[in-house]
Amino acid sequence: MPDRSQPIYVLLVEDEELISMVVADELRERGFIVQEVSTAEEALRHLQSGAPVDVVFTDVNLPGDIDGAELAERARTMRPDLPILYASGRYAEFGLKGMVARSLFVPKPYSPSEVCTLIERLSARV
């Protein structure tokens, strides 16, 4: 279990508003501090701002020119040890080859509680 005496900051990158709301609510109920964005470009701006982020949870398929896989690569350039949790409904297309090292994947549909457990597992490595 992560050290819960320190807050864990999650950057949630999901373009489906309802999914984002449900997951963010569950994370907040478990004590995480959540920043929600809907594009990779917004996520990169958030990371570049120096804001605290302990885990990035990103959908692979995002609107705009940058998908979740490229977001993860760019995020790791800025913060080499940043844990990444990917989600996608198109697992066969994405597969493990698209993931950065030391990351996890959850297929859609997923339960918000499953996501919380995976984020807790990733944040324990921080």
Give tens-digit pLDDT for 86-108. 998 876 566 556 789 889 999 98
HSE-CB for 53 with a 13 A CA cutoff: 30
* Inter-residue contact 105 to 91 (CB < 8 Å): yes
Percent of the chain with pLDDT over 90: 79
The pTM score is: 0.92
Q: What are the structural domain ranges in the chain? A: 9-123
Give tens-digit pLDDT for 44-79. 999 999 999 999 999 999 999 999 999 999 999 999
9-123: CATH superfamily: Response regulator (3.40.50.2300)
